[in-house]
Amino acid sequence: MTASTSRWQQIQQYIWLIIGLLCLLAALIFWAITDKKELVYVENPVEEQQVTIQPEKVAATVNLGSLTTAVRPLETTTRIVATGTHGPEFRGTKFFQDHANRWTIVIFQASKEEVIQNFLRQQPSRKDFIYFRLNAKNQPDRYVLAYGVYKSSAEAQQQRLKMNLPASVQPYSKALADYKDLINDLGSEELQSTQQLRAVQLKPTALPVIDESVLAALKPVTKAVENSLTTTTITRRDAEGNVVDVQKSQNSAPKAVERSREASTPETSRANTP
């Protein structure tokens, strides 16, 4: 009886297992049949907003150009000033404007100003030497050393023959007007003209006359004060005779001072009487 019951239970378990597998298979078949449709993506089109232009308001704007006071336009006529770096022979725009019809003798050109300054330090006289800076567009700056200012090319050529220069230096005459558009500096002579020199005039003053009689009358007073100082020493002892405290003090004797003043009074009165 027991064996038949356990066998029947096993048969029921197998039946339920087969039923579960059949349900799972039916579910897979149903999912495969219903999942044939493709996914459809729905896009929301973005509407373009057109900006309306109001020409009336643009034409009526009165604040155009309000930043011209805050940001000033570039000034092309501004000249470069480098105070304390150029020598006294340096020339700028004003020099070439004043001597536009003149000629000069170009000695040499250099890329650094220190080369020209070292050359000028070796010269015994720097009176007629000048130098300037060429500021050409898209080109490095060049410094030109020249000598003298002449009325014509012939005069400059004649002076060139008289110059004693090394063989490596080949000077030539050049019109100052050729450099006019390449100069944009402030010359040293312009800086010197704007600075006013001030002179300090010292006048002699009379020394005060010292009355020797007054000094002689004050000497006894000072001596009496120095001699009238007295030193007082106070020593404190306890009952056993040991020193507990020592105090020293200096006092001046007013009587001695008064006597010295009384003694000096007649002398001063005699000295003051004519």
Which three-class secondary structure state does DSSP give residue 174? strand
Phi-psi region of 84 (alpha: psi -120 to 50; beta: other; left: phi over 0): left
8-state DSSP, 68: G
**Is the whole model's pTM more than 0.75, yes or no?**
no
User: Which CATH superfamily groups domain 93-194?
Assistant: Sporulation related repeat (3.30.70.1070)
Mean pLDDT of 8-32: 89
Structure tokens at 174: 């050049």
Q: Check residues 47 and 212 and name the one with the higher pLDDT.
A: 212
In the predicted structure, residue 209 carries a pLDDT above the cut 50 = yes
Pick the range with the lowest mean pLDDT from 83-87, 162-166, 190-194, 240-244. 190-194
Listed range (26-35, 59-68, 145-154) with the worst mean pLDDT: 59-68
Residues above pLDDT 70, as percent of the chain: 64
Q: What's the confidence (pLDDT) of residue 104?
A: 93
Q: What backbone phi and psi angles, to 5 degrees, belong to 203?
A: -110, 140
Look at residue 49 and give its three-state secondary structure: coil
Please work out, in degrees rounded to the nearest 5, the angle formed at the alpha carbon of residue 136 by the alpha carbons of 132 and 139. 115
Per residue in 58-108, pLDDT tens?
555 556 666 656 565 555 555 555 545 788 888 888 888 888 899 999 999
Q: Residue 17: enclosing H or E segment and its boundaries?
A: helix 2-34
pLDDT per position as a tens digit, 225-271: 555 566 777 777 777 777 777 777 766 554 444 444 444 444 434 43
pLDDT of residue 145: 92
In whole numbers, what is the pLDDT of the chain averaged over residues? 74
Q: What's the confidence (pLDDT) of residue 242? A: 76
H or E element that contains 148: strand 142-150
Which has more pLDDT, 162 or 26? 26
Question: Between 250 and 26, whose confidence is greater?
Answer: 26
CA-based end-to-end distance of the chain? 175
pLDDT at 16: 92
